[in-house]
A = this chain, B = another copy of it.
Amino acid sequence: MRGLHADTGYLLYRLGLRSGQLFNASLQESGLRLRHYAVLRLLATTEGALQRELSARLGYDPSAIVGLVDDLEKLGFAERRPSPDDRRSRIVVLTDEGRTFLQDTDEAGTQVTNDLLGPLDAGERKTLHALLLRIAGDGLK
């Protein structure tokens, strides 16, 4: 009979849980959670994104995006702007406050990754990251 962690899939599941917990604990004092942080990080790379783009790229349900952007707007980290092309869409953009928040919390994020990857040296971390990216595939790119 195979052991509990013979399955890479189950290992991934458990480590994913742990990773999310560490991230959320690290973000707790800011009032945000990992999901909000992911939205901010994505917005920082795209200079404005439709909510459906956020949904597709982050893998969150469209209905979840609504609440996340609501929260970010309340905190002044993001704004909804009307799309000139399509009046159904809203363009979500990062505010200056959001950008400085990202800069301030950047160190905390890398600290979490350090805790998580503890026993691995730099080379192993690179290897792991590359393998995970391969698994992630286009859906999460």
Contact = CB atoms under 8 A, between A and B. Distances in A.
Nearest to A57: B4
**Protomer copies:** 2
Interface string A109-141: 110110011111000110111011111110011
A34 interface: yes
Q: Chain A binding site: helix, strand, loop or mixed by DSSP?
A: helix
B1 A136 contact: no
Interface residues of A, number: 55
A76 interface: no
A12 interface: yes
A84 interface: no
Contact of A116 (B38, B124, B135): B135
Contacts of A34: 10, 13
Contacts of A133: 5, 11
B116 A8 contact: yes
A14 interface: yes
Contacts of A132: 8, 11-12, 15, 128
A62 interface: no
User: Which are the 7 A-B pairs with shortest beta-carbon distances?
Assistant: A16-B16, A12-B19, A9-B113, A13-B19, A11-B132, A1-B44, A13-B20
